[in-house]
């Protein structure tokens, strides 16, 4: 038996300060920034997903002034503490003596997380790894604005920013109320160019998180309400004939926001620990790893497994299979350790006796089904 306490106190939850929603709403970024520029001089730091580096359609809409900084974020792999530290150094060295008016993150979950981390580090000092954990950020970051261009992770709404620390192998965020965006701009126009498989994998992150939360033993009425709404919207999107239609991209953007808002009041379950194993040991990106894991989850989420298979078939999604074929015993051991370390979600799903269910043999058998 593992002695794990799930939250029993009254949580004091924080959600995003303000948001604008609607097709074309990116244009409101100018007036939102104007109110900050009018009250003080200084620079705005735009951190934009590298995908948009040559995308004039988006770039010409950004209100970047001469003295602002526009930096493209490398998203070829998920954010590391080393990457965030190097980016911070570059920003600090080119903005010396100037006031930072705002950090604007425009992109998928990776870019939004980098923007949140940079905003916190600019006011707190030190380096990214100093704040990986719970409530370690001391003072509010620079005013943060999030503009998602990919829906699903809920990074736009959550109180964390996930980074991989290659030194100690930890994948952990700055869990803090200071990490929450002050302002969001939710413009479904921005997700039109997302490749279909990516759109599906990321969208499923919201659905999977909410399924795990609602099937767990820890419950929070507000978390449940966010999760139920998010699941309903995901169903409308992925059960339809065209998951990326204009209206469905709008629905998924709302689902992602609601799913992200639910995270503060919920725990995940069996899927995320296994998915983390795949990310840490085999470098699979988070959202893809969740989907790969779902293919082995029939014993724990039978109804949802069936629904997931229907989503995959209906949307003709290509999912890598047999990802653990040919792995060595040492790699299976590493997968086991990277999974079982997530005690809270496993307790939420299976109870404090989860380790008698999740033996080394059982965990290996599940990975072999993926």
Give me the least distance between CB of 171 and ligand NAD, in Å please.
7
Judged by beta carbon distances under 5 to 8 A according to partner kind, the member of ligand NAD, Zn ion, none in contact with residue 160 is: ligand NAD
Residue 325 CB, nearest approach to ligand NAD (Å): 25
How many other CB atoms are there within 10 angstroms of residue 34's CB atom? 11
| Position 78 contacts Zn ion (CB under 5 A) | no
Q: Which is nearer to ligand NAD, 148 or 216 (CB)?
A: 148
User: β-pairing, 170-175 with 162-165?
Assistant: antiparallel
Nearer residue to Zn ion within complex by CB, 46 or 286: 286
Q: Contact letters (x/-) for ligand NAD, 152-181, by CB under 6 A?
A: xxxx--x-xxx----------x--------
Among candidate residues 72, 23, 37, the one with its CA nearest the CA of residue 51: 72
- Which burial class, exposed, middle or buried, applies to 199 when counting CB atoms under 10 A from its CB (0-12, 13-18, 19+)? buried
Q: 268 or 346: whose CB is closer to ligand NAD?
A: 268
Cα separation, 57 vs 31, in Å, equals 19
Residue 51 interacting with ligand NAD (CB under 6 A): yes
Q: How far is the CB of 78 from ligand NAD (least distance, A)?
A: 4
The least distance separating Zn ion from the CB of residue 268, rounded to whole angstroms, comes to 7
Which of 33, 45, 108, 227 touches ligand NAD by CB under 6 A? 108
Q: Does 26 bind ligand NAD (CB under 6 A)?
A: no
Contact partner at residue 266 from Zn ion, ligand NAD, none, CB < 5 to 8 Å by partner kind: none
Residues 6+ apart with CB under 8 A from 118: 45, 47, 84, 87, 88, 91, 103
CB 311 within 8 A of CB 203: no
Return the residues of window 55-94 that contact ligand NAD according to CB under 6 A.
75, 78-79
Who contacts 330 (Cβ-Cβ below 8 Å, separation ≥6)?
Answer: none
| H or E element that contains 101 | strand 100-107
Is 205 a binding residue for Zn ion by CB under 5 A? The answer is: yes
H helices present in the chain, as ranges: 28-39, 56-59, 81-94, 109-124, 196-215, 221-238, 246-263, 271-282, 286-294, 302-314, 329-340, 343-350, 354-357, 360-368
Decide if residue 182 touches Zn ion (CB under 5 A): no
Q: Which of positions 227-266 make contact with ligand NAD (CB under 6 A)?
A: 263
When CB distances are held under 5 to 8 angstroms depending on the partner's kind, the choice from ligand NAD, Zn ion, none that residue 16 binds is: none
Q: Is 240 strand, coil or helix?
A: coil
Q: Which is nearer to ligand NAD, 124 or 279 (CB)?
A: 279
Nearest to 305 by CA among 347, 355, 270: 270
Instruction: Enumerate binding residues for ligand NAD (CB under 6 A).
Output: 49-51, 75, 78-79, 107-111, 113, 149-150, 152-155, 158, 160-162, 173, 190-191, 193-194, 198, 202, 205, 263, 286-287
């Amino acid at each position: 038996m593992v002695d794990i306490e799930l939250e029993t106190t009254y949580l004091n939850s924080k959600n995003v300060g303000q948001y604008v929603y609607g097709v074309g709403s990116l244009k409101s970024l100018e007036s939102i920034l104007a109110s900050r520029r009018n009250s003080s001089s200084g620079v705005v730091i735009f951190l934009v997903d590298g995908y948009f580096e040559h995308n004039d359609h988006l770039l010409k809409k950004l209100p970047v002034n001469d003295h602002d900084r526009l930096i493209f974020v490398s998203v070829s792999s998920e954010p590391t503490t080393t990457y965030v530290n190097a980016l911070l150094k570059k920003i600090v060295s080119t903005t010396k003596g100037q006031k930072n008016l705002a950090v604007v993150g425009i992109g998928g979950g990776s870019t939004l997380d980098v923007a949140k981390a940079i905003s916190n580090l600019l006011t707190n000092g030190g380096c990214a790894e100093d704040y990986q954990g719970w409530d370690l950020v001391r003072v509010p970051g620079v005013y943060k604005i999030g503009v998602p261009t990919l829906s699903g992770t809920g990074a736009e709404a959550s109180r964390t920013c996930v980074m991989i620390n290659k030194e100690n192998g930890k994948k952990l965020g700055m869990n803090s109320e200071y990490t929450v965006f002050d302002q969001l701009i939710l413009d479904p126009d921005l997700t039109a160019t997302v490749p279909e498989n990516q759109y599906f994998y990321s969208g499923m992150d919201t659905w999977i998180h909410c399924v795990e939360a609602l099937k767990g033993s820890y419950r929070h009425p507000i978390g449940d309400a966010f999760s139920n709404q998010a699941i309903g919207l995901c169903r409308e999107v992925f059960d339809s004939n065209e998951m990326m239609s204009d209206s469905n991209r709008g629905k998924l953007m709302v689902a992602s926001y609601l799913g992200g808002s639910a995270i503060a009041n919920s725990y995940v379950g069996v899927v995320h620990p296994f998915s983390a194993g795949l990310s840490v040991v085999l470098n699979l990106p988070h959202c893809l790893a969740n989907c790969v894991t779902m293919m082995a989850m029939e014993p724990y989420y039978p109804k949802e497994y069936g629904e997931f298979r229907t989503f995959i078939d209906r949307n003709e999604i290509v999912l890598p299979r047999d990802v653990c074929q040919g792995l060595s015993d040492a790699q299976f051991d590493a997968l086991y350790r990277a999974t079982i370390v997530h005690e809270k979600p496993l307790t939420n799903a299976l109870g404090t006796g989860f380790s008698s269910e999740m033996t080394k043999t059982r965990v290996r058998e599940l990975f072999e089904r993926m």
